[in-house]
Structure 1
Amino acid sequence: MINFIITSSVCLSIFLAAYYLLLEKEKMHNFNRFYLLGSIIISFAIPFLTFEIIKIVPAVQHFDTIVDEPFIIPSTETYIEEKTVYMPNVLWSLYGIISMLLLVRFGKNIWKLISKARSNPSVNYQSAKLVLIEERILPHTFLNSIFINFDDYNKSSIEDELYAHELVHVTQKHTLDILFIEILKVIFWFNPLFYYYKKAIQLNHEFLADEAIVKTYNNVLFYQNLLLQKSNNVQTIYLASNLNYLVTKKRLLMMTKNTSRKMALLKKVAIIPILAGLIYFFCIEVVAQEKTIEKATTAVEVSGIELSDSTIDDKKRDKYYSGVRIILIDNRYDLEINKMYEDLTLEEKRRYLNWIPKSISEKELPAALFEKMKTQNMAVWINEKVSSKEEIKKYKRTDFNYYTYSFVHKNARSKRFPQEYQYALYTKKYFDKNLKNSHLKFKGDTLKMRISNFDRVQKNKEKKENDKENIAFQDTTKVYTSIDLTEKPSFNGGFEAFYKYIGSSYKVPEQVTKNKLKGRVFVQFIIEKDGSLSNIKTLRDMGYGTGDEAIRVLKESPKWTPGKVKEKPVRTMYSLPISIQ
């Protein structure tokens, strides 16, 4: 409700401001009438409109877990202690009382006008009905009734222009506009914008009636004097269209004003960007849609290895990475892998090791570049050792049969190497020994990779700075997964007992229960050698504190029986999906 009131009020304010700035002073009153009414309806509709824009986001496809099936926490077992809050009830009661009083006042005034029309004599006049009353009043209109003084009618002292003026209110049904805005004032009495809207609508009604009279009688000066004469010391009637309503400089000037078609069209078109802007700001919603990633891009550069978009031949890859430990940090999903290459699944191999090493061909060093290196202070490495221009002079250009270079961005340059480019030169002997066959076998015993985007890197950096416990791949003690164990960890009483503990301890957040949300919370933790749980974190949750609640429950968990390798307790990595229905 609060969101509806705020959003609709902002839209009403913008539309009303546009009316005063662009439209009110122009002679296009029919358009203005429907603009004022339409802007109210559109302002009420915008909070309920939603246009979704689908944004593709990557999804986690695999979780290692030793639980065959996720357990379910029934919502019937959730207990949330509610506290009685009285203030909303007080405010709603106050709103209801004021609204009821205004509704009674509104109904009373309608009944008063209807009773007056029924209890006094009337005369048919074209499409309207003249109601003759004894009160000294100016002509005013309600629905199809025009109220006039009985004596003025008998003496024929009412000018034809006044009859015609009120007849315009009847034929164009201006009373319906006033009733519409009055009903809104009863409901939204706390919003002052509707008072300004009523004033603008009634003044525009008078513009419409004045315009019709000027076109019919073609005597502007007489009509202006007539209005000024009749408007003195006469009270206006609530809910009626009054002849003397706001006889101000605006009405008198509008009678003589002319608006060109081009200007009117331009101002009408100017409303379109305002409407489009409000819809874009309030109605456009970006919805994330998960999409499985078939390959990953790493931040590690390996000399002589080239990234490929195609699937690597499995046998060639197996030979290249044989005996290599793969340490992977995927910051996008808080996923960590610390395994020997042979222990990776085929999916992990193809997803994260999708580059194809290619053979390196000899490449001659250009003569001009070599001369520049000998005379200028450049960042040059020879056989992976930093070399000065004096050391470069000791070589001949033909001593090098391969070289590489790279551009260094300004924010990555150091005081020692402020140059834009860095060069690496390799002699024939070094090339034949270290580079020529480097595409056949990975030269190290460990490959470290990090997959991330900037936002997640920053988020994880802050998280790790506040986390006193090291994550698994940084721990000096080896962490095992279920496939490495000879004896899996267990909970006292079995998994059924563990399920009961989670079901009785986990408190589903109020927002999840209120919105009837369903989904999964994925958590990961380490079962230590003594059976306690550490490094507890959520891999993915539903928001609203569902992940934090899972961490709390696991931190308070009784100790487990640790996993074992060859009868010895070891630290075990454990992943757990929790389904909430």
Structure 2
Amino acid sequence: MFYRVLLARETFHRVNRVVLLATAVASFVLPLCVITLHKTVVVESAPSVSFGALEAVADISSDAGMYPLWQSVAIVLFFIGMAATLGHTLWSLFRIVKLIKHSQKYPQSDGTVICVTGNPDLAPFSWMHYIVMNRSDYLANDAAILTHERGHIRYHHSWDLLFVDTLTALQWFNPAIWMLRSDLRAIHEYEADGAVLSQGINARQYQYLLITKAASIGGYSLANGISHSTLKNRINMMLHTKSPRRSLLKLLALLPIIGAVLAVNAETVTDYEYTRPQKQMPIKKGRKNTVINIGGKKVLQIVETAEKKSEIAEPPAIEETVEPTSGKTYDVAEQMPQFPGGASKLFEYLASNIQYPAEAENANIQGRVIVSFVVEKDGRVSEPQVKKSVAPSLDAEALRVVGSMPKWIPGRQDGEAVRVKYTVPLNFRLQYGPSKDALAEKLVAYAAGYEAGRKGLNEQRSERPLIYVDGKEMTLEEVGKLDPKSIDHMNVLKEKTAIEKYGEKAKDGVILITTKK
């Protein structure tokens, strides 16, 4: 309740994540922290009445080990529910592992692995260092999808889900743990969304992507997916103003909350002391009446706070009306501009017209350049600007290709053509296929021991880099037997990056080869 009332609408996602995880741990630890207050009562010894009462108390205590029927049934139900919840988690984990195992894997230079599956209805999701998506999403090579899932992986969200789902199995009967689980998954999506927007990707286009993917089929409770969580809350959080640092002072409210919890669990122990030494029989019997009364008031206050929270938990739907103005540039229009033939033709045009700058190719510079531009009322492309830069030569080539695009189908607002801003990612990746296999031939020749290969790849060097083909380390002899035309693309990891990923054995660099499947 503390989180939902005070922190849920703040943009301190990392802090909120820590608060929820700490709350899950505290739910098991705090009940064990019992403050014991001792109270001594002096009683005059009455030969028959007092000892009779004490004997009666002793008799009741001796029967305390006998469980009533309802308690036995409750214990059985608890273990049945725990087994069912844990079984569901394990089943979800099994499905994820099976799906990853039977998918086509494409290792990435950042350590992630893209797993491509044939299920066209599968929404993209991530698990540990794997990104799972269907083939159409993989071929689209959407920057927003990949950045979103890499955000989940970078923040280690999979470990959070494993931890909280395990605790959920132990408290399956408790609605609060399910609320906490839902809130934690929402924070995961906020963090991943923030990673996307930090890369310069247009927020409006990304929100439309979320709406498109929201209808996709997921079904993996342990996975982080791009369409997961409440879509309206995610869009609201993207539009939310960044919280001021003074809002962190709300964390101080945890102190009285923890104090109230400890007070509810406090126990008063009464020590009975008799005036006659020969008759003294100290009896300890826990009493919590006063504390229970205080705790009851606290619970009532929490319930009232929860009702207030429920009134704001569902923010009103966002309705944005834009009055058309002559010459105004729209970030989003009722009918967005479209490249002739659609998105597939757009990326086909970009791929066929990009000329890899020799300077960048020789320096093995690769990356994704994000370019924004305006589609004019007549469909012309104007005002291209680099939103995310990689290198000057690649930026210049991206601007050239975007500026030379043919006329688009213009966007429309209220039936009239308008100027609309658009953003396109251009992926520069060195590829060596059948039409560009010179370096591949040199590599194979080098591996086979030919002089031409040694001059082409290892001039003035005696070191020998590691070579991985489709993720498997190969010897020079094995690489020399490859057909150069079977190589799809190659990546070269230099010394520092290679050592970080593969250890000291990669001090002379690593060549990553991916063959055609």
Structure having greater relative contact order (Cα 8 Å, sep ≥ 6): 1
Normalised TM-score (structure 1):
0.42
Which of the two has greater helix per residue?
2
Normalised TM-score (structure 2):
0.47
